[in-house]
Structure 1
Amino acid sequence: MSNLIELANISKSFGGNLAVDNVTLELFPGSVHALMGENGAGKSTLMKILAGVHQPDRGGIFKNGRKIAFTTPRDALDFGISTVFQELSLLPNLTIAENMFLGREPVTIFRTVDYAKMHAETRKALDDVGLDLDPRTQVSRLSIAERQFVEIAHGIKADASIFILDEPTAALNAADVEVLNKHIRRLRDAGKAIVYISHRMDEIFTVCDTVTVLKDGRLVGTRPLHEMTPDSLIAMMVGRELADLFPARGARAGRPVLEISHFKIKATSKPFSLTVRSGEVVALAGLEGQGQSKIMRALVGQYQPFSGSVTVNGHALDIPVPANAGIRKLRAMGVGFVPEDRKDEGLFLGLPIHHNIAIGLQATHAGFSYARHYRSEVETAFASMNIKASGPSAAVGSLSGGNQQKVLLARYLAADLTLLLIEEPTRGVDVGAKAEIYKLIRDFATKGGAVLVVSRETLELIGLCDRIYVVHGETLVSEMRADRATEHGILDAALVASRGAAQ
């Protein structure tokens, strides 16, 4: 079978840093090709070369033996290459339809924008991926998962022969992932080639046929996936087995750090109570959208609960927490909040690493100037986090997703905090960086800190945490020790609660 396209001996450098080094990749029709590797391995750079965002320094792109060049993303799109990058590219101040047709708006006979046609075609594209959204909705009002699915719908709608999906499911729940997988299979069966970049092993083995692994910008190898196992693939990527990802759990818990009592998310919700102690990592688990995020966000003022009491280190936290001062108020009580959306809610992408870390150190002080006496703490945090960058002065926006997540964690780990509230600690992060982040979280707990974490990845919660609370119907329905928990047990607890609520 002849290939659809070949990237031959591609090399690319940025400022003296060799991002891709002599990599060759072939894409065939009717195939889903996984591209794997740690953050910074060169995956996104290689795909941006294929998508016309970057041009290679050496090597080239070939079709039927003929060298072709994409000088712009439009060249690649016209050739038949559709890309959904990990960094969401939707413009938040425009509607879904305006984003879908940006730069190619249909016009009426009067040469005005044909909004009716735009809305109708956008509605069909959204329906095709099972997304019930009004095309006139402004993107800024969408959740992270909804924005990701709009990106995917945009890509699938294109009449392309090659699809590049870079972390397409990072913000999707299990049901949405299966919808996406259905469309990927449909595209594959239609003779398309799909490049699938993901750090979720179950997805790779579910939808992909072939895997190529990159490490430090170089090609490790290409293998049929039926010859691989998750352990052998991880070993190929990072040189260690799956069981080595998670550090040992804490010996025992100490004093209560966070106590939530008689808490009600809504007036109709059942009240619940929970405790997080020093030295332990505690999870909020369950089916998507059952209240985990609302519980977390209520603690920092981003959601207003109906009632309840909260104490942090024995001091009462007034409920509801003010939305405009919640983060600063919690910081003064020794609490750090690590949001899911690190780009829009967590980091200042245009500022250097040292400023992003120092912001957490001076959060309780007035003003917004970089304090010199924080320099040693920042440099210590930078070194201990193993952040891959040219130095603390590098712009955070230039880092890979895993290294950006480390910077966000460093902001709070460098400060004198007793409690961390963490949403999706490893969203869009590779296996190697995950192991490092898990160790950093566990080290924080071992030194006497307390952690409350929310994640869509159940195996992550089982491996990382000490205790797990299962959330369903905006209340707690079960509590279990993580070392005795299973995916089936957590799902069963949620489903039993669901059946009980329906009776």
Structure 2
Amino acid sequence: MSSAAVVEAMPTSGVSPQAQSSEYVLEVVDVRKEFPGVLALDNVQLKIRPGTVHALMGENGAGKSTLMKVIAGIYQPDQGEVRLRGEPVTLETPLKAQESGVAMIHQELLLMNSMTVSENIWIRREPRNSFGLIDHDRMRGMTVELFDRLNIRLNPDAEISTLSVANRQMVEIAKAVSFNSDVLIMDEPTSAITETEVAHLFEIIRDLRKRGIGIVYITHKMNELFEIADEFSVFRDGKYIGTHLSSEVTRDDIIKMMVGREVSQMFPKEEVEIGDVLLSVKNLSLEGVFHDISFDVRKGEILGLAGLVGAGRSNVAETIFGVTPATSGQIFIEGEEVNIKNPHDAIRQGMAFLTEDRKETGCFLPLDIQENVQSAVLHDNYVNNGFVDHAALEKESAELCKKLRVKTPSMHEVIENLSGGNQQKVLIARWLLTHPRILILDEPTRGIDVGAKSEIHALISQLAHKGVAVIMISSELPEVLGMSDRVLVMHEGRCTGILDRDEADQVSVMSLAAK
């Protein structure tokens, strides 16, 4: 594949007359965006054809999210321009972007939990009766009609707080489509949904493509690019690298474009000597959630937890760490029973827990990187003559962030300003700073680009080599199979089997997961 390959014109059958006036429904021309100490976008470009799905690829910190926020009216470019249907536009606010035909579905869904599905979709655009009051019956009818178009089966009167993540995402999609948008931006739309829900989402995307909508699809999952995208663009370090037809490249071509180097081994699993049992879980139960879970994890071992969404894997991890104390069962560390009533007790016992939801339960968003990294440290290890050795603490924090390649101008950058992948790296640094002997990782590479995934996998292997007992939960089966010494499979709150590395494959794991 030549880096100078030209993307051929895509068919535009079914495109609205409004969009047909230009070859591209959206163009980004030489856009630059700089923040204090960071050049986020360096004269980048992007061209979206109507009636196509255009995947945007790149490592975390490559500039993808910044560009999307420029297009969605959240940020203003320092230079360059955005064109819609061939005409330059100034999108001062997200509302102006929506009114101009650009809608964005964020990775962290932005819905009002206490409001109904209909109220969320038509907020600020509610139909009114002759008295100026909201016409709820008409609004409900509009929602039903919209759902019928998209083949979405949801109750318009349901409160958002009662919906699953996948169904909330369907509400966001319906809301975006309700603006009759020409451009729809989807940021990691499949990061927290099941394979069945992904299939339904792809059906909706294909239907929107037939209707002439140009879709910008941000993902780190290579299989999705080849399944749903017509073409793709790659960004690296804030620069535009190239655009190609999905049919013209291989997975390795894309990885090389993204990281600027070969990623020779995605799962660098080291063969290490497995030591004595470090953690034992006996008949652990949480009433109404999971039942009679028993397993051992040895020093240097990586135990993978596999299962479908809702199987109870994360609940087991949270219970071991004391987030939700067990209703029955026992936990032993090096043969001695321990009573873990809260996370503080778990940390005292040498445990660390990387949560799956970095926004809600991981990051302290208003605080800077330094404060986030140090937040889990019990200062005993950094006390000198009765005083906390802040210099040593800050030095080790900075070294860990450098080792994990966190992209930031300084340790005092507010973590909310970082990309999702860099936030994840900061959380990993937080727990490494505690020097754990038992490390629980819940979806450690969710929303992480392919280059960073390889680095995190290598780090997990290095920790196992040092004798750390690792429990790793992942919804990506290749990750579980590639990194684990043994795989514990769960189904509906119960352990359905534990497989050794040499007997675990996709068929055996999925047969236990769907048992």
TM-score (norm 1): 0.89
Q: Secondary structure at the match of 1:360?
A: coil
**Which residue identity does 2:159 align to in structure 1?**
T
The separation in 1 between residues aligned to 2:251 and 2:507, in whole angstroms, is: 20
The answer to whether 1:360 aligns with 2:348 is no
Corresponding residue to 1:308 among 304, 307, 329: 329
Question: 1:52: Cα distance to partner?
Answer: 1.6
**1:203-225 Cα deviation digits (max 9, x unpaired):** 11110010111111111111111
The corresponding residue for 1:346 is 362
CA drift at 1:115: 4.1
**Structure 2 residue 413 is matched with structure 1 residue 413:** no
| Aligned-residue offset at 1:355 | 0.8
Work out whether 1:33 is the aligned partner of 2:49.
no
Specify whether residues 405 and 142 from structure 1 end up closer, same or farther in structure 2 by C-alpha distance, changes over 3 A only. farther
SS in 1 for 2:395: helix
Hey, what does 2:478 align to over in structure 1? 459
The alignment partner of 1:168 has SS state of coil
For 2:496, the equivalent position in structure 1 comes to 477
What aligned pairs does 1:13-412 form with structure 2 within 5 A after superposition?
A: 13-63=34-84, 65-92=86-113, 94-119=115-140, 121-122=142-143, 128=150, 130=152, 132=154, 135-139=157-161, 144-241=165-262, 243-266=264-287, 271-303=292-324, 305-318=326-339, 322=341, 326-362=342-378, 372=390, 374-412=393-431
Deviation (angstroms), 1:98? 3.7
Q: Is the 8 Å Cα contact of residues 28 and 44 (structure 2) preserved in structure 1?
A: yes
Relative distance call for 1:376 and 1:252 in structure 2 (3 A) is same
Match of 2:17 in 1: none
Between 63-72 and 191-200, the greater mean CA deviation after superposition: 63-72
State the Cα distance separating 1:283 from its structure 2 match. 0.9
Separation in 2 of the partners of 1:107 and 1:197? 37
Q: What's the offset of the Cα at 1:50?
A: 1.5
Superposition deviation, residue 170 in structure 1: 0.9
In the TM superposition, residue 126 of structure 1 has moved relative to its aligned partner by 6.2
Q: Find the counterpart in structure 2 of residue 501 from structure 1.
A: none
In terms of mean alpha carbon deviation, does 114-123 or 454-463 score higher? Answer: 114-123
Q: Contact 2:263–2:454 at 8 Å: present in 1 too?
A: no
Letter in 2 for 1:372: H
Structure 1 unaligned spans of 5+:
499-503
Within 1, Cα distance between the matches of 2:167 and 2:346?
Answer: 29
Offset at residue 121 of structure 1 (A):
4.5
Is 1:125–1:154's contact at 8 Å kept on the other side of the alignment? Answer: no
Over aligned residues, Cα RMSD in angstroms? 2.7
Residue 412 of structure 1, CA deviation = 0.8
Change (3 A) 1:415 1:180: same
In the alignment, residue 357 of structure 1 is paired with which amino acid?
V
User: CA shift at 1:337, angstroms?
Assistant: 1.5
Provide the rounded CA distance (Å) in 1 between the counterparts of 2:144 and 2:364.
Answer: 34
Higher mean alpha-carbon deviation, 105-114 vs 217-226, is at 105-114
1:339 aligned partner, one-letter code: T
Q: CA deviation at 1:65?
A: 4.2
Give the superposition deviation at 1:122.
4.7
Per-residue deviation at 1:91?
3.9
Q: 1:285-342, CA deviations, whole angstroms, 9 ceiling, x for partnerless residues?
A: 0222222222222223444655322213333234xx64xxx21121111111111111
Contact 1:297 1:303 in 2 (8 A): yes
Whether the 8 Å contact between 1:328 and 1:363 is mirrored in structure 2 is no
Cα distance, 1:268–1:284 mapped onto 2, change above 3 Å: closer
Shift of 1:376: 3.0
Name the structure 1 match of 2:6: none
Please list every run of 5 or more consecutive structure 2 residues that lacks an aligned counterpart in the other structure: 1-8, 10-22, 382-386
Farther-moved stretch of structure 1 (239-248 vs 10-19): 239-248
Q: 1:62 to 1:303 in 2, by over 3 A?
A: same
Separation in structure 1 between the aligned mates of residue 317 and residue 141 of structure 2, nearest angstrom? 38
Q: 1:46 Cα deviation (Å)?
A: 1.5
Q: Quote how far apart the aligned CAs of 1:492 are.
A: 2.6
Shift of 1:359: 1.0
The residue aligned with 2:460 is 441
Cα distance between partner residues in 1 of 2:85 and 2:285: 63
CA contact (8 A) 1:337 1:422 kept: yes
Cα offset for 1:99? 3.1
Residues 84 and 164 of structure 1 are in contact (CA less than 8 Å); yes or no, is this contact kept in structure 2? yes
1:439-484 CA-partner distances (Å, limit 9, x unpaired): 2222222211111121111111112222111112322222223355
Could you tell me which amino acid in structure 2 is paired with residue 472 of structure 1? H
CA distance in 1, matches of 2:190, 2:281: 32
Amino acid across the alignment from 1:455: S
SS of the equivalent of 2:376 reads helix
Q: 1:112 to 1:356 in 2, by over 3 A?
A: same
Residues 77 and 317 (structure 1 numbering): CA distance in 2 closer, same or farther, change over 3 Å? same
SS in 2 for 1:257: strand
Aligned-partner residue type, residue 220 of structure 1: I
Give the % identical residues.
37
How many Å apart are 1:385 and its aligned residue? 2.3
Distance 1:85 1:384, change over 3 A: same
Per-residue CA distance 1:100-156 (angstroms, 9 max, x = gap): 3333233333333344444555566567464646744253x6555454443333323
**1:375 to partner: Cα distance:** 2.5
Deviations, residues 141-191 of structure 1 (Å, cap 9, x unaligned): 655545444333332343112111011111111111111001000011111
Higher mean alpha-carbon deviation, 161-170 vs 356-365, is at: 356-365
Shift of 1:264: 4.0
Cα offset, 1:353, TM superposition: 0.8
Name which of structure 1's ranges 371-380 and 434-443 shifts more when overlaid on structure 2.
371-380
Distance 1:166 1:268, change over 3 A: closer
Cα 1:478–1:156 change in 2 (3 A) is farther
Q: State the SS of the aligned residue for 1:6.
A: strand
